[in-house]
Amino acid sequence: MGYHHGDLRAALIRTSFELLAECGLSKFSVAAVARRLGVSSAAPYRHFPDRDHLLSAVSAAAASDLREAMLTAVAANPDDGLAAAAGAYVRYVVRTGAGIHVIFATELYALPDDARREQTRALMTTMLDLTGHDVRLLEATLAVAHGYASLIQQHFFSKDTVDDVADRAAAAARALV
């Protein structure tokens, strides 16, 4: 792809999603993001002091984007909101590589980042609203949706489309209610 001037900070975040979708969180690195963009390995450090700070910005963007994807799905299916959100979760994670495992990455717990905290709080509030503030239902729905997303990323569903698997996650969420 390469980077051709402009907003490097935004390009770093966008490219981070591409790499997360391709190789996952465990292989995510600032150096790989820089290589993908065609910039020096030092360039990202002008915007982020280290991997955790870049990951924190990605986490905030992921929480915001995932929330929007869920709200869009719920608006299209208001009578089946929780199931629609579960399906949206699967689609989002497969497309971006950034689900709960990135949004709530343990290496970010000690990192003070008000923007990330605000976005994760908004995501969880939306999810809690969809479950009628039932924390156990929220946990179960996230477990089901994340499980399906993980399975499709690991090629468990070799003959199924992302939409097929998202529909399974939605059906499982519906069954939880």
1 pLDDT band (50/70/90 cuts)?
Answer: low
Domain boundaries, the chain: 52-176
As its CATH architecture, domain 52-176 has Orthogonal Bundle (1.10)
Express each pLDDT in 60-111 by its tens digit. Answer: 999 999 999 999 999 999 999 999 999 999 999 999 999 999 999 999 999 9
pLDDT digits (tens, 9 = 90+) for 117-135: 999 999 999 999 999 999 9
Q: How many C-beta atoms surround the C-beta of residue 63 within 10 A?
A: 26
* CA distance linking residue 107 with residue 105, whole number of Å: 5
Residue reference for tokens 């468990």:
156
Q: What pLDDT does 100 receive?
A: 96
Residue 154 is predicted with a pLDDT of 92
According to the model, what pLDDT value does residue 3 have? Answer: 56
- Please state, in angstroms and rounded to a whole number, the distance separating the CA atoms of residues 139 and 135: 6
Name every residue whose Cβ is closer than 8 Å to that of residue 26 and which is 6 or more positions away in sequence: none
Determine the Cα angle at 94 with ends 91 and 97, to 5°: 130
| CA 121 vs CA 59, 67, 87, 126, 130: distances in Å | 12, 10, 21, 9, 14
